[in-house]
Amino acid sequence: MANKEMDNLLDDIMIEHITSAPLSELMTEYDLTSDEIKITQARFHDQILECKQQFKKAKLKNARAQLEFEKRKHEEVDVLGYLTKKGKDARDILIELFIQQKLPENLTVAHREGKEITDEDAKQILANLIAMGAINIDDKDD
pLDDT tens track for 50-76: 999 999 999 999 999 999 988 887 777
Residue range 85-99: mean pLDDT, rounded: 84
Q: Is residue 123 part of a domain?
A: yes
48 with 81, same domain?
Answer: no
55 with 105, same domain?
Answer: no
Residue range 79-87: mean pLDDT, rounded: 81
Residue range 41-48: mean pLDDT, rounded: 89
Q: Is residue 84 part of a domain?
A: yes
Residue 58: per-residue pLDDT:
96
Residue range 12-32: mean pLDDT, rounded: 84
Q: Is residue 51 part of a domain?
A: yes
58 with 82, same domain?
Answer: no
Residue 113: per-residue pLDDT:
66
- Chosen domain end from 62, 87, 113: 62
Q: Is residue 115 part of a domain?
A: yes
Range of the domain at 93: 77-132
Q: Is residue 72 part of a domain?
A: no
Distance of alpha carbon 97 from alpha carbon 67, whole angstroms:
27
Residue 114: per-residue pLDDT:
59
7 with 55, same domain?
Answer: yes
Residue 142: per-residue pLDDT:
44
Residue range 102-130: mean pLDDT, rounded: 76
Residue range 81-104: mean pLDDT, rounded: 82
Distance of alpha carbon 91 from alpha carbon 122, whole angstroms:
5
Q: Give me the amino acid identity at 56.
A: K
Q: How many domains does the chain have?
A: 2
Q: Looking at the predicted structure, is the pLDDT value of residue 139 above 60?
A: no
